[in-house]
Amino acid sequence: MTVADGSQVRLADVSEATIGTTPANPVFQIMRYVNSEVRISKQTDTPNEIRADRNVASIVDVGRSVQGPINTFLSFGTFDTWLQRLLCSTWNADVLKNGVQQQAATLEFFYEQGATDSYIRYQACRWDTLALALRARQSVQANWGIRGIRSPDPTNAIIAGATYTPATVTPVFNAGLNVSALSFTGLANAPKVQAMTMNIANNVYQNDVLGNYEPYSHGLGRFEVTGSLTTYFETVDAYQAILDHDDVAISTTLLDALGNSYVIQLPKTKFLDGGPTVAGNGQAVMIEVPYQAYFDATAGASIVITRDAA
């Protein structure tokens, strides 16, 4: 027997036309990723029955679901389908806005184990959250939160008729060279940003019914975009926007070495809090600004992503 090596685990996924059903003859897309903790989440109950000998009388298996993060670096074209699922929408002329479309996929993990390999699959997976992190002199991180319904029994073979599309090879975006045109409409002087986070959440919730061992379905909660800006204190503009509760539009362009780009726009945000902080000698004065996007009638959305292939 061969112990599975983490450096040889392949992640692939395929969209489900019927949520919870892996397509026949699936065309899996091999994905680029750093690590994953997606797994079956098994729920048990230990009934609080009294025994005179003080032993636990029973442990009951009451249900299962799928959940966990997939951590990646952001690169052009690699995660366009994942972005669709996350924003519950589809690309229209290379523009993607948040919507209300129900989308799900089957995830497949392949484990190389010598003569007999293992395949573990997760069905009805939803892309619930995304945490983007842009930090000076670092690659752009994109960490996805997954929620699914079931994991069929593991197997030692591919699904009959399955094919696999190779992973993309576009460069990873880095926040040192690949972030340009970071703008703040509504501020006379745009702050210099050391780090920026953006958190997207669908607030997916689970519907449980009597007689079902696994979730009956998932529902979509309120779509929320939040984050924070770590900025240098050069002017009072950002601080004044906090005090005045002004609308600020945030836009950033990610441009890779080949000329491919994403423009991520939050047409309307509020700076929620923050002020200059003095960390001590030999350090710049910074402002940590939490923000939240909300619906913009002109854009018809809270977030707009525009892609442009070189």
> What secondary structure does DSSP assign to 170-226, as a single string?
PPBPBTTTSEEEEEEET-SSPPPEEEEEEEEE---EEE--TT-SS-SEEE----EEE
Q: Which residue has the tokens 């995660």?
A: 79
How does pLDDT run along the chain (310 residues), one tens digit per residue? 678 777 889 999 999 999 999 999 999 999 999 999 999 999 999 999 999 999 999 999 999 999 999 999 999 999 999 999 999 999 999 999 999 999 999 999 999 888 888 999 999 999 999 999 998 888 999 999 999 999 999 999 999 999 999 999 999 998 876 666 688 999 888 888 888 999 999 999 999 999 888 999 999 999 999 999 999 998 898 989 999 999 999 999 999 989 999 999 999 999 999 888 888 898 888 999 999 999 999 999 999 999 999 9
- Whose CA is closest to 159, among 121, 111, 115? 121
Tell me which residue of 77, 85, 231, 80 sits closest to 147, measured CA to CA: 85
| Residue 85 main-chain phi, psi, to 5 deg | -65, -40
What is the residue type of 132? L
Q: In this structure, how many other beta carbons lie within 10 angstroms of the beta carbon of residue 157?
A: 10
63-112 pLDDT per residue, tens: 999 999 999 999 999 999 999 999 999 999 999 999 999 999 999 999 98
User: How many CB atoms sit inside 10 A of residue 302's CB?
Assistant: 22
pTM of the model: 0.93
Q: Position of tokens 């591919």? A: 158
Contacts of 38 (CB under 8 A, 6+ apart): 66, 67, 68, 69, 70, 107, 109, 122, 125, 146, 148
Are 271 and 221 in contact by the 8 Å Cβ rule? The answer is no
